Structure 1
Amino acid sequence: MKIFIAVLVLVLAGCSSSPAKLQGKSNWYQVGYKDAIRGNDERSFTTLSSLNATQESSYEAGYADGLEQYCNPDRAYQIGLNGQGYQGTCDHTKSGQKFRLEWQRGWRDYNQ
């Protein structure tokens, strides 16, 4: 079962948007939301500029909304239990410490 989950995580990671696919996107809110809900770090202004993102504020708003959803400590245990890594994306949020503890608990159970 762990092998199946590991393969699933790798497949989903491969589905993340490549920079070439993002150039010319018009819905930067959705791009930001998807980055955050996947637990990815926010893209820098330089990266967004290189992708011809004309709506950085839309990206930032989407990222903030996605981060609010992702950083829910009630979901953190399941994220860890599914074998999904954590990059510290929520550490600076109000519930960041609780999120990390719950994720670690799930990660520990995943690895047993």
Structure 2
Amino acid sequence: MKKAIVALAVLGLFGCVASDSDLAKEGNWYQIGYQDGMVGHSQRSHKRLSELGDVQVSDYENGYSAGIAEYCNPNFAYQIGVSGQYYEGVCEGTEQAQQFRMEWQRGWNEYNN
């Protein structure tokens, strides 16, 4: 129950987050990267980022790393799977990758049953 409440709170916060275009105009590439990582998206290419504006790649990468560190928490992986969110493999290579994948798979299996 606690996991569900925390996951819903995190997802709810994304409703208040500025759009990528707004963040790019502000030069907030860290936040763009953080948002991508927090929702488990694969890291964007330089070409895709530069479509938004004058990209600061290091800021984006730092934000992305911080977001992935939070997303890859195995304590929330089951909830991510059971909510139907597809896992793009972004946690591979992290310390808790195997545990995350197992918990996500357990939730994903339940979602698909």
TM-score between both structures, scaled by the size of structure 1: 0.75
- What CA distance in whole angstroms lies between the structure 2 residues aligned with 1:54 and 1:32? 11
Alignment CA distance shift 1:51-1:75 (3 Å): same
Task: Work out whether residues 31 and 63 of structure 2, in 8 Å CA contact, stay in contact via their aligned partners in 1.
Answer: yes
Task: Work out whether residues 25 and 53 of structure 1, in 8 Å CA contact, stay in contact via their aligned partners in 2.
Answer: no
Over the matched positions of the two proteins, sequence identity in percent amounts to 50
What SS does the aligned partner of 1:33 have? Answer: helix
- What CA distance in whole angstroms lies between the structure 1 residues aligned with 2:54 and 2:96? 30
Residue 36 of structure 1 corresponds to which residue in structure 2?
Answer: 37
Residue 108 of structure 1 corresponds to which residue in structure 2?
Answer: 109
- What CA distance in whole angstroms lies between the structure 2 residues aligned with 1:30 and 1:106? 28
Runs of 4+ in 1 over 6 A off after TM superposition: none
- What CA distance in whole angstroms lies between the structure 2 residues aligned with 1:29 and 1:110? 33
Residue 45 of structure 1: CA displacement?
1.7
Structure 1, gaps ≥5 residues long: 1-11
- What CA distance in whole angstroms lies between the structure 2 residues aligned with 1:43 and 1:22? 15
- What CA distance in whole angstroms lies between the structure 1 residues aligned with 2:100 and 2:62? 21
Residue 99 of structure 1: CA displacement?
0.8
Task: Work out whether residues 81 and 107 of structure 1, in 8 Å CA contact, stay in contact via their aligned partners in 2.
Answer: yes
State the Cα deviation string for residues 15-60 of structure 1 (Å, max 9, x = none): xx57x66653421111100011111011112222232233211111
Alignment CA distance shift 1:25-1:42 (3 Å): farther
Structure 2, gaps ≥5 residues long: 1-13
* Matched letter for residue 95 of structure 1: Q
What SS does the aligned partner of 1:94 have? Answer: coil
How is 1:1-112 mapped onto 2 (pairs within 5 angstroms)? 24-112=25-113
- What CA distance in whole angstroms lies between the structure 2 residues aligned with 1:25 and 1:101? 39
* Matched letter for residue 104 of structure 2: W
CA RMSD of aligned residues (A): 2.3
Residue 9 of structure 1 corresponds to which residue in structure 2?
Answer: none
* Matched letter for residue 106 of structure 1: G
